[in-house]
Amino acid sequence: MKISIGLPALALLLTGCIALPPGLHVTVGGDANYYDAPTRTIALAPDQPMAIWAHEACHARQHEKILERDPASDNLWLYFQTPEGVSFLSASSQVPSGAVLEDEAWVCAWYYVDPSRLTSGGLAWAQEWLR
């Protein structure tokens, strides 16, 4: 299997713009894009756009925020108990759900890839929490 990594995405990952869990793996070549917390793996289908790379890296970042408080946890729902997660719920007037984990990962992804796609509220939240 040939693995290719887009230079911008690689740069994003390696320059430390997004805090990622220790021991993170990236696999390319499957048929789906996801982050698997138990194995700390970003899995990407081939030839994905930068926003998808960033979105999955932002799920890994959610995990990193959890690990800062509980180094053994693989439960992404605990993101909602982190100060950042609490802030996102408040700023977006939402209750914890899988959809909110997705929303936050998209706000994070667009913040790094194309901030012009964010609402003013999303941009303000991202500037406060994602730096």
> Which CB, 68 or 102, lies closer to Zn ion?
102
3-state SS assignment for residue 78:
helix
Binding-residue total with Zn ion (CB under 5 A):
2
Residue 21 burial class via C-beta count within 10 angstroms: exposed 0-12, middle 13-18, buried 19 and up: buried
Provide the mask over 72-111, with x wherever binding to Zn ion is found by CB under 5 A and - wherever it is not.
------------------------------x--x------
Q: How far is the CB of 2 from Zn ion (least distance, A)?
A: 25
Q: How far is the CB of 6 from Zn ion (least distance, A)?
A: 18
- The token pair at 8 is 């911008």
Q: State which amino acid sits at residue 102.
A: E
Residue 20 or 105: the one with the smaller Cβ distance to Zn ion is: 105
Draw the binding track, 32-71, toward Zn ion (x: CB under 5 A; -: no contact): ----------------------------------------
Residue 116 burial (10 A CB sphere; 0-12, 13-18, 19+): exposed
- Give the span between the Cα atoms of 19 and 129, in whole angstroms: 12
The residues that touch Zn ion, with contacts defined as CB under 5 A, are 102, 105
